[in-house]
Amino acid sequence: SQQGEEDPQALSIQEGENATMNCSYKTSINNLQWYRQNSGRGLVHLILIRSNEREKHSGRLRVTLDTSKKSSSLLITASRAADTASYFCATDARNRDDKIIFGKGTRLHILP
């Protein structure tokens, strides 16, 4: 079964605006990761946040983690057309033999 659940399922914003995607999960985790997938391609890792971290930055990406609410958010600032893709959260869950389980993803479309 899915561990992570992203929302919204789809998001369209104007180029230059910020995009925020959320992820909720069910069980205790070692870490939470965000990935990007261009249409018809494999996934590319963006950022990993450990369970003892609350916020992490990488370029235009900002990830937060709230383990008390079992939720995470991915913020992409100053969006570009090239950011159009699907974004997935994934968890490395402690009670699932450290298997990496993915959510259903958010389809992000940046409008020119």
Partner 1 sequence: SQTIHQWPATLVQPVGSPLSLECTVEGTSNPNLYWYRQAAGRGLQLLFYSVGIGQISSEVPQNLSASRPQDRQFILSSKKLLLSDSGFYLCAWSGRPNSNTEAFFGQGTRLTVV
Residues that bind partner 1 (CB under 8 A): 2, 30-31, 33, 35, 40-45, 48, 50, 88, 90, 92, 97-105, 107
Q: How far is the CB of 40 from partner 1 (least distance, A)?
A: 7
Our CB check for partner 1 shows the closer of 19 and 36 to be 36
Query: Which residue carries 């992409």 as its tokens?
Result: 76
CA distances from 87 to 34, 39, 82, 95 (A): 7, 11, 13, 24
Rounded to 5°, the CA angle 4-77-74 comes to: 10
Nearer to partner 1, 83 or 92 (CB): 92
Q: How far is the CB of 33 from partner 1 (least distance, A)?
A: 6
Euclidean distance between CA atoms 43 and 22, whole angstroms: 18
Please identify, using beta-carbon distances, which residue of 14 and 40 lies nearer to partner 1.
40
Q: Which is nearer to partner 1, 41 or 80 (CB)?
A: 41
